[in-house]
Structure 1
């Protein structure tokens, strides 16, 4: 009984990364080993799925304070940083330096709109004004970054190159659109946003919808899907990195379809876009294969990814399809298109997502229900 009591007392004293047992007296080695296995909190969108009460915890507040330190002067955030990691005094000071505060901000890889939603949740739970102010600065950033035609660049202020394209890749623009739509609709946790900003958000969403519909790719006069990025002036499909060429994007198109299907009272234009895109995804789905991780045949240490035959595997979508032929595209850093994953270099095979899950539920359940709800006829 004593060992159990000590374990409970120790477990109750965990605080974030520290994982230390305070005022619990002697602890046996088994309990100490258990303490060391506690996983540290890492920054990701998974933090947006915590229980509502958690956002008032000391750990949640600590992370929110980190986000304010990482926030740029323009209101946005950079990407690919573990912003949940505890910071030393020196690190906190460095983040407040003018060079850091004036650095780049982006919506790529979930940046900015994820931090904003987190701050809104912590503000809702704590009522601390600094989190509201941080969110509103982020909101102003997103509204300012939008192109006049309704799209969003990957980076703002604009970075020359593919960064200035309207970016659907990795859910960038759709993440922004979903947040702004929730703000405009006064959904939790955004009820605190003032009326003028809600109106601006609603206008931004309408402009964004317009550019989504205008950029849907037509092949032989027939609507299909979307590229991962589109030219911000012509709206034509555009290249990004050497291995991200003009194409139709399976994953990004799924995200756009889901957004469009969530709209209330969809217009005839939205209905046509959804019908065409769902038809396209169903047409290009890939069956009978699955991905498998193996040891690299050359080094025997690095991981490699291969495609194996499996008639029972669920359907997949390729990340990129050639416009016009709908053939899956696999591209290495040399920019050369191949028809098979095995034909590109190991680093790109294992370091990039070339296939995604096909949403059977979307096509077989959600889409028919959506058509019934809005009395869509063939």
Structure 2
């Protein structure tokens, strides 16, 4: 009995490993309205204001709610990666609605305008802006970066916390969402005439799949593509192009599932072990055209067997997950299927 429970627990952990977790700022949105006028709430809001960059965004992997930035330190570099910026903006919008403190509105508008300016003419967003010359400049689906921005801008057009924006600002957000959706459709990778899914990042100009870090090759992404599909299926009135993209993407997800194995993220144990009761798995990266799962150490050499890469990357990166299960479940009840 215990091995079965353990297997289910590991499967659950694997599923959660790539599910978007709330940032510290987003967790504040669970607080009641009166918390925002309390001493603790105002302290958290002051902390958020102190961490805003000169461009209007916020740093990643930083709890911007707990402690104010040292006034004598350099302002941090902001980003859209790892959930940064959109959470802080949501909190500030709500704080302004509740308190009427105009500093929150002004800080929100700086970040909101920064997001709009950062969007490329083709509808994509880089990982950060100004983007520089590295892989950060490319359109970034990795870790849900672009999808978070689109979700935020969509909410700007319809949620109560953002009612202080005028018609022109809400219209600008709506246009940005529409351009973003067009970019998503155009980025969908076509193999032998058949649309499949997406890479974790696409070229800023050509939209072709591109490499990020040395072990993140141009590929079909079994993780990021699920996040894209879930967003597309959550649209109220998807266009025919979006509906077609979902159909093709889900068909690929169904074809790419791996059954009969349990995944363990470990530096010492085998990554995959046979288990007929394990839920389906999807690889993080699939080779374009062959659909073979691919893996790599930091040297960038592609391997087709996860056991052929070193323990550092094998145990330090999530190479498989049950991500596709949620996409298949949502598709089963999607009214446009």
Conserved in 2, the CA contact under 8 Å of 1:52 and 1:125? no
Alignment of 1:157-236 (within 5 A): 157-184=130-157, 186-236=158-208
Query: Of 45, 48, 62, which residue of structure 2 is paired with 1:67?
Result: 48
Aligned to 2:10: none
Kept in 2: contact 1:285–1:358 (CA 8 A):
no
Distance change (3 Å), C-alpha of 1:205 and 1:311: same
- Structure 1 distance, partners of 2:206, 2:149, is 21
Q: Indicate conservation of the 8 Å contact 2:25/2:64, yes or no.
A: no
1:95-118 deviation digits (Å, cap 9, x = unpaired): 4xxxx23x5321111111122122
CA separation in 2, counterparts of 1:57 and 1:354?
44
- How far apart are the structure 2 equivalents of 1:160 and 1:253? 25
Q: Work out whether residues 61 and 122 of structure 1, in 8 Å CA contact, stay in contact via their aligned partners in 2.
A: no
Q: CA RMSD in A?
A: 2.1
Can you list the C-alpha shifts for 1:229-279, whole angstroms capped at 9, x where unaligned? 001111100111100110011111111111111122222111110000011
Quote the residue 1:240 is aligned against: 212
Inter-CA distance 229–293: structure 2 relative to 1 (3 Å threshold): closer
Alignment partner for residue 136 of structure 1, among 80, 89, 109?
Answer: 109
Q: 1:354 aligns with which of 319, 324, 330?
A: 319
> Greater CA radius of gyration, 1 or 2?
1
The yes-or-no answer on 1:306 pairing with 2:271 is: yes
CA separation in 2, counterparts of 1:281 and 1:158?
A: 31
Supply the distance in 2 between the matched residues of 1:222 and 1:342 (Cα, whole angstroms).
Answer: 31
**Greater relative contact order (Cα < 8 A, sep 6+):** 2
CA distance in 2, matches of 1:312, 1:166: 38
* Alignment equivalent of 1:271, drawn from 235, 243, 256: 243
Deviation at 1:66, TM superposition (A): 1.1
Residue 7 of structure 2 is matched in structure 1 by none
Separation of aligned partners in 1, 2:283 and 2:83: 21
Selected match of 1:344 from 309, 321, 324: 309
- TM-score, normalised on structure 1? 0.78
Aligned counterpart in structure 2 of residue 325 of structure 1, from 265, 268, 290: 290
The whole-number CA distance in structure 1 between the counterparts of 2:38 and 2:273 is 46
* Superposed CA offset, 1:111-151 (max 9, x none): 11122122223333333222222111110000000111111
Q: Deviations over 1:304-349 (max 9, x none)?
A: 7732222222222211111111111111101011122222122212
Instruction: Tell me the CA shift for residue 189 of structure 1.
Output: 2.3
Identify which range, 325-334 or 111-120, moves more after superposition.
111-120
Aligned residues: 315
| TM-fit CA distance, 1:158 | 1.9
> CA 1:118/1:308 → structure 2, altered by over 3 Å: closer, same or farther?
farther
In the alignment, what sits opposite 1:367? 331
d(CA) in 1 for partners of 2:227, 2:25? 16
8 Å CA contact 2:294–2:305 kept in 1: the answer is yes
> How far apart, CA to CA, are the structure 2 residues paired with 1:127 and 1:141?
22
Residues 104 and 156, structure 1, Cα contact 8 Å, conserved in 2:
no
SS in 2 for 1:308: strand
Q: Is the 8 A contact 2:263 2:321 kept in 1?
A: no
Give the gaps of 5 or more residues in structure 2.
Answer: 1-21
